[in-house]
Amino acid sequence: MLYLNKNIVLNVTEYIRNTVDRLPKGYVFTYEDFDVDVSKKEAIIKALNRMVNSGRIEKLSKGKYFKAEKTPFGNLQPNQEQIVKDLLNENGKVVGYLTGYSIYNKLGLTTQLSNIIQIGKNQTRPKFKRERYTIAFVKQKNIITRKNIPLLQILDSIKYIKKIPDTTIKKSCLRFLDIIKNLNLDDKKELIRLSLKYPPSTRALLGALLDEVQTKSITTNLKESLNPITKYEIPGAQKALTKASNWNII
């Protein structure tokens, strides 16, 4: 909430202008972020639209605005988390997280960026457009917490390893080894626990990755969760993982 200083008497337009001036570049906001009586809603919206027309702020989508960072190559869009933050939190509670293309890039699995923003949620909805972005949803069966989001992002990336753009499965596996190697033992065990709600192929690849980096095996439960006669086709994984065949990865 963007609070009005009660000690200073300002009209709505002055208040909106002064408050927006204090916002960081790339911060996405709506009229609801301003601490003004609800009866002033129309005045707030008009003031914001006047600022859009004057070039002081930009409109992201209906009712959503931001202060653009200006560069010699044009104005920068807000980061993806700002663009969809209303879909990630509800009443102060985490209900979703970024996954997919933006996370492949963040984890160093690809250099490509996309105009598709994918969000992991327990309750999904049809995809929709928000300005130049397509917002799509991925079903997450685990309870989402602020703490486990980085682990869920790793598992999602393992699950969709065949869909990571501009790379190979071998390169992705090598990168996953570096990522998992840097996790502490508790996080590795939590990764296993969370993976039990993922498809068998994800669990098998996680098992092979963990056996590659973990000197003392912690994957017994993971192995027991899999059908011992099922084969998993992940072409290229065997080139990076010496334990892949132990997990029926071909």
Residue whose structure tokens are 């509670």: 93
Kindly report, residue by residue over 2-58, the tens digit of the pLDDT: 444 433 335 777 888 888 888 888 888 888 788 767 667 788 888 888 888 888 888
Question: Is the Cβ–Cβ distance between 154 and 179 less than 8 Å?
Answer: yes
The token duo for 229 is 């006669």
What pLDDT, on a 0 to 100 scale, did the predictor assign at position 39?
66
**Per-residue buried b or exposed e for 207-242, using 16+ beta carbons within 10 Å of the residue's own CB:** bbbbbbeeeeebbeebeebbeeeeebebebbbebbe
What pLDDT, on a 0 to 100 scale, did the predictor assign at position 32?
78
Q: What region, left, alpha or beta, does residue 33 occupy, with left being phi > 0 and alpha being psi -120 to 50 degrees?
A: alpha
| CATH class belonging to 12-76 | mainly alpha
Residue whose structure tokens are 């090598």: 174
CA dist., res. 223 & res. 192, Å (int): 10
How many CA atoms within 13 Å lie on the side-chain side of 132? 8
CA dist., res. 152 & res. 155, Å (int): 5
Residues of the chain with pLDDT under 50: 1-9
- Residue spans of the domains in the chain: they are 12-76, 87-162, 168-250
The token duo for 80 is 């993806």
Residues 6+ apart with CB under 8 A from 102: 80, 113, 114, 117, 118
pTM: 0.82
